[in-house]
Amino acid sequence: MKKIILSAAIALSALAFTSCLSSSGESKNEATITYGGSLCFNRVTDLQTGETFNTSDPQYSFLLDYTNQLVTPSMTNLKLAEDASGLSFKLPSLKVNLNSQDYSYTVNGIDLIPEGASQQYVFSTFSFKAIDRAFRTNSGTYIYSPVYDISYTVNGRYSVTVYPTRYDLLGTTTSNADGKDPYTSTKPIYSITLDTSKKTANLTLTDAVFASGHTTMKFGVKDLPYEIMSDGSIEIKTPADEKSQIVDTAGDVKNAYLSGITIHISVPTSRGSYISFHANIPGMQGSASDDEYDVRANLSYYIPTTED
């Protein structure tokens, strides 16, 4: 069953009817996107010292004015040092640009002085990109998974990148069973969820299929170690001989595991992301199916151009 991406044009139209009334009673064509809390964290780099640290529970709000094609960003609990108090800012309204190729909408600004703030704080750069999208799974259910790419620099010194704690990625998956021709599929959705307090990640595969004739599967593995690399990418790795127990909605799947897991997520663009692992799935596809597969997929936020 074909997955569906909701373009920004569709999403903007859908959001537009969440209008509010002005004090004069006239309808205002606007909506607000809120993002923060457990959904993301800030990664802050002091460009003078090179120190990098993470801060939790930032809060972002974007007021969309459809009539004038403007976005007004605001934020709370912004920390520019690990032990600092959270700051709050409201930035000037910025013009929206719609990309007709990836259906994203973006705003960019330079040298922005927050409303009501002194020149002690200047946003040297500010960038916000959003893609509203949803996937229809093989069972007919939908996964709503917008992408928000937010980054900015304060006072030319503090570079901030906002990291999501969940990544839903797609790609063409190639599976190899010993002695068989490779099998490719664009059905699987790979969901990676970070637990920032434990520094672990959970991996869930939706609509996984590794061979012709397979029914689609949904399963996952838990508590994988992750690391943020010097280039800002997220890397998850387990040794080839370490077995990560496969779980599904009923619990542990007997004798089923993934091993040799490697996941690389490029933040914020997703370009260059990939996953590879060895899957041992006895009984999950019946006795006639192979039990073991080597699996790899190049991953992206975007749906592949062809569907199987």
Q: Tens digit of pLDDT per residue, the chain (308 long)? A: 445 455 444 444 444 333 333 334 455 688 899 999 999 999 999 999 999 999 999 999 999 998 999 999 999 999 998 888 899 999 999 999 987 777 788 999 999 999 987 678 999 999 999 988 888 888 888 888 888 999 999 999 999 999 999 999 999 999 999 878 999 999 999 999 999 999 999 999 999 999 998 999 999 999 999 999 999 999 999 999 999 999 998 899 999 999 999 999 998 777 889 999 999 999 898 766 789 999 999 998 876 544 55
- Count of domains observed in the chain: 2
Q: For position 289, what pLDDT does the model report?
A: 77
- On whether residue 305 sits in a domain, the answer given is no
Q: What is the DSSP string of 8-74?
A: HHHHHHHHHTS-EE-TTS-EE-EEEEEEEGGGEEEEEEETTT--EEEEE--EEEEEEETTTTEEEEE
Domain final position from 164, 179, 214: 164
13 with 160, same domain: the answer is: yes
126, 76: one domain: yes
Asked whether residue 111 falls in the same domain as residue 206, the answer is: no
For residues 140 and 27, state if they share a domain: yes
Question: What is the token pair recorded at 113?
Answer: 């002085």
Written in H, E and C, the secondary structure of 162-218 is EEECEEEEECCEEEECCCCCCEEECCCEEEEEEECCCCEEEEEEEEECCCCCCCCEE
Of 64, 66, 62, nearest in space to 34 by CA = 62
In a domain, 154, yes or no: yes
Instruction: State residue 243's pLDDT score.
Output: 98
Q: What is the C-alpha to C-alpha distance for residues 205 and 215, in angstroms, rounded to an integer?
A: 13
Q: Give yes or no: residues 105 and 25 share one domain.
A: yes
For residue 141, how many other CB atoms are within 10 A of its CB?
9
Same-domain check for residues 116 and 233: no
Last residue of a domain, one of 164, 192, 211: 164
CATH number, position 147: 2.40.128
- Vertex 81 angle, CA 76 and 85, to 5°: 45
Residue 187 lies in a domain: yes
237 sits in which H/E element: strand 234-237
The distance of Cα 129 from the centroid of its chain, to the nearest Å, equals 12
Do both 55 and 96 map to the same domain?
A: yes
Residues 137 and 189 in one domain: no
The confidence score (pLDDT) of residue 105 equals 85
Q: Tell me: do 150 and 97 sit in the same domain.
A: yes
Question: Which residues constitute the domain of residue 53?
Answer: 8-164
* Pair 57, 122 in one domain: yes
308, part of any domain: no
Task: Quote the CA–CA distance of 292 and 289 in Å, as a whole number.
Answer: 9
Q: Which of 145, 164, 183 is the last residue of a domain?
A: 164
113 and 190 co-located in one domain? no
Q: The pTM is what? A: 0.87
The C-alpha atoms of residue 203 and residue 216 are separated, in whole angstroms, by 16
Domain assignment present for 1: no
Q: Name the nearest CA neighbour of 37 among 64, 15, 63, 55.
A: 55
Answer yes or no: do 285 and 173 share one domain.
Answer: yes
256 in any annotated domain: yes
Cβ neighbours for 157, distance < 8 A, ≥ 6 positions apart = 46, 47, 48
Peptide bond into 268 cis (omega under 30): yes
